[in-house]
C-alpha cells in the first residue's frame, strides 16, 4: 500500500470522482454526454468513446488534486492509456489523484428486498492486474430496497467477504451497499445497514481497513459513528439519482462525509462543448461538490 495515498484519502480535503460506469450503463452514460448509439457499431467502439470522454475529464485543468482526492475507474479504463501512461499512473503521476477500480460484475435479481452482487469469478486475477497498474483500492456495489433484515445482512456479509480478499491483496476496498433513494422505508433500511456494518467493522483486525460508500442518509449524521470507527479510512456518499444541487445540500448536513459522485459530477458535460465550455462546466461541478464535502452547515 502507498502510504502517501493512504494519508491523502484518510485526511485530505476534497472528494472522490466516480468515473466507473460500465457494461449496461455505458450507453446511458454516453447518451447523457451527447453521444448517441448510432455513433458506434460494437462494444469496442463504444468503450473507446467512453474512454475518450473520461480522458477529456481527467486531462481537463478543472480535474485536479486541489479538490479531487481520488477517482474510481472501470476495468477497461484502467487497462487503457492516457498520454502514453496507464490511466491509474496518469492520475497519480500527472495529477496527484489516487486511483481506484470498480471490481463488481453487476447485480443479481432482487430477493428479500435487496440485490446482491453477481459472483466475481476472476477477482484474484483482477486484483493482481490492479496491483500491477498501481491501483490503491477497489469499489463494489450492492443495492438495498426494503428494510428486510436478512436481506441487508446478506448484502453486508457478501461485501465484507469480498472486502477481506481485497485487503489480503494489499488494496483498500470501498464497501458500497447503496440504499435506493426511492425506497419508502429508506430511513429504516439505513438504520439496519448501519448496525450490520458496525458488526463487521468490529470483527476486523488492526491491519484490516475499509472505506464505505453509502447513500446520503435520511437522518443527518446517522453515519457519524461510522466515520469515527478506527477501521474506516473514509466514508463517502453517492448522489444516487439526486440532482447535483439536491445531493450537495443533503451532503452539507452530514459532518465528516465527502462526496463520491458520478452522474452529479458529469451532468453538465457534453461532447459537443468547446474545450473552454467543457472545462468551465466541469469546474463548476467540481467546485460545488468540493464545497459540499468540506463546508458543513
Catalytic positions are 176, 213
- Give residue 172's Cα distance to chain centre: 13
Task: Check: CB of residue 117 under 8 Å from CB of residue 141.
Answer: yes
Locus of grid cell 472522490? 16
Euclidean distance between CA atoms 29 and 57, whole angstroms: 13
Which grid coordinates are listed for 159? 461485501
Euclidean distance between CA atoms 87 and 296, whole angstroms: 32
Task: Check: CB of residue 56 under 8 Å from CB of residue 110.
Answer: no
Euclidean distance between CA atoms 19 and 263, whole angstroms: 9
Pairing of strands 137-144, 258-259: unpaired
The packing angle between helices 186-201 and 149-168, to 10°, is 40
Euclidean distance between CA atoms 103 and 100, whole angstroms: 9
Euclidean distance between CA atoms 291 and 294, whole angstroms: 5
| Residues recorded for the chain | 297
Distances (CA, A) of 211 to 136, 137, 284: 12, 9, 27
Instruction: Specify burial of residue 44 (Cβ count, 10 A radius: 0-12, 13-18, 19+).
Output: exposed
Amino acid at each position: 500500500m502507498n502510504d502517501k495515498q493512504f494519508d491523502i484519502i484518510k485526511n485530505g480535503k476534497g472528494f472522490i470522482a466516480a468515473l466507473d460506469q460500465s457494461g449496461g450503463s455505458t450507453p446511458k452514460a454516453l447518451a447523457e454526454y451527447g453521444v448517441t448509439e448510432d455513433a458506434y457499431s460494437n462494444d469496442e467502439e463504444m468503450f473507446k468513446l467512453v474512454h475518450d470522454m473520461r480522458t477529456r475529464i481527467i486531462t481537463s485543468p478543472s480535474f485536479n488534486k486541489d479538490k479531487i482526492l481520488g477517482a474510481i475507474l472501470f476495468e477497461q479504463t484502467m487497462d487503457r492509456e492516457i498520454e502514453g501512461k496507464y490511466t491509474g499512473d496518469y492520475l497519480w503521476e500527472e495529477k496527484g489523484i489516487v486511483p481506484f477500480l470498480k471490481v463488481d460484475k453487476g447485480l443479481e435479481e432482487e430477493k428479500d428486498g435487496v440485490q446482491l452482487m453477481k459472483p466475481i469469478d476472476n477477482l484474484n486475477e483482477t486484483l493482481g492486474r490492479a496491483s500491477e497498474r498501481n491501483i490503491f483500492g477497489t469499489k463494489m456495489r450492492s443495492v438495498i430496497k426494503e428494510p428486510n433484515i436478512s436481506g441487508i445482512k446478506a448484502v453486508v456479509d457478501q461485501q465484507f467477504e469480498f472486502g477481506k480478499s481485497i485487503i489480503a491483496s494489499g488494496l483498500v476496498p470501498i464497501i458500497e451497499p447503496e440504499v435506493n433513494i426511492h425506497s419508502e422505508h429508506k430511513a429504516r433500511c439505513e438504520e439496519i445497514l448501519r448496525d450490520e456494518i458496525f458488526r463487521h467493522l468490529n470483527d476486523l483486525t488492526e491491519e484490516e481497513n475499509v472505506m464505505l460508500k453509502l447513500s446520503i442518509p435520511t437522518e443527518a449524521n446517522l453515519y457519524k459513528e461510522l466515520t469515527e470507527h478506527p477501521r474506516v479510512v473514509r466514508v463517502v456518499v453517492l448522489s444516487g439519482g439526486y440532482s447535483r444541487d439536491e445531493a450537495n445540500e443533503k451532503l452539507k448536513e452530514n459532518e465528516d462525509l465527502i462526496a463520491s459522485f458520478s452522474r452529479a459530477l458529469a451532468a453538465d458535460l457534453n461532447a459537443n462543448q468547446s474545450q473552454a465550455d467543457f472545462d468551465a462546466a466541469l469546474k463548476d461541478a467540481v467546485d460545488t461538490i468540493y464545497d459540499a464535502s468540506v463546508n458543513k452547515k
